[in-house]
Amino acid sequence: MTPEQAIAALTAQALPGKALEMQAYHKVERPYLGVSNPEIDALVKDWRATLSLPDRLALADGLWRSNIHEARIAAAKLLSQARIRPDDSGAWALICQWLPDFDAWAIADHACIAAQKRLIADPSRLDEVETWTRSENMWQRRAALVATLPFAKLPNPKAAEIAARERILDWAAGYCTDRDWFIQKAVAWWLRDLSKHDANRAAAFLAEHGAYLRAFARKEAAQYLPTP
């Protein structure tokens, strides 16, 4: 399947008037087709079932390059798979290639879900993720936390996983003085998820760094912690 054929299939699922609604909601200037996520999911499910891995990577690359909102969502979903064999097939490299293009939360979050799968498959990739924390692109800095959310959700982490979690919390600590709403939201999101599995560690982080967070972020981060 070519990217053009895939975009035609997406376009066939468009709802009248929805493209304008989506553009107004996402507030980023790019083409919108007006296709909802369930329809994208159904198409991607079929593509993943019928395409070889090389063809899937080529399709994801072409869809992303189109800059169409739904096409980029579909590109990310094509790679949102726990097991990709071989894992060094190029999926991780393609996701990293997309990072400089991040400019809106919906597309960035779907790409980060794909990144999450590859980081769990190979945590050594955190070395590369750490470089994202120094990017001038706010969305790329934010991606370092969104892509590593699974490490906040580990119920019984092993020593290596605890070390990885502490490394990510160091990044989060460095973000606390960044006043950007999306960065603050990402820190709060990470801590909120961590608090469900390790309330003591989340509380300790807030005790040390919480004063630097904006009020809404402190509140969200502490949502599931006991009230002092």
The confidence score (pLDDT) of residue 228 equals 65
Name the CA dihedral angle for 163, 167, 168, 171, rounded to a multiple of 10 degrees: 170
The whole-number pLDDT of residue 89 equals: 87
C-alpha dihedral over 192, 41, 48, 11, to 10 degrees?
Answer: -130
CB atoms under 10 Å from CB of 142, counted, come to 28
The pLDDT of residue 6: 98
- The amino acid occupying position 103 is D
Q: What is the pLDDT of residues 44-84, one digit of tens each?
A: 999 999 999 999 999 999 999 999 999 999 999 999 988 89
208-224 residue pLDDT tens? 999 999 999 999 999 99
Over residues 132-150, the pLDDT tens digits come to 999 999 999 999 999 999 9
Mean pLDDT of 9-28: 96
Cis status, amide bond into 86, omega within 30 of 0: yes
Q: Could you write out the DSSP letters of every residue in 90-127?
A: SHHHHHHHHGGG--SHHHHHHHHHHHHHHHHH-GGGHH
Token duo for residue 62: 């072409």
Ordered structural domains, the chain, with CATH = 1-139 (1.25.10.90), 148-228 (no CATH)
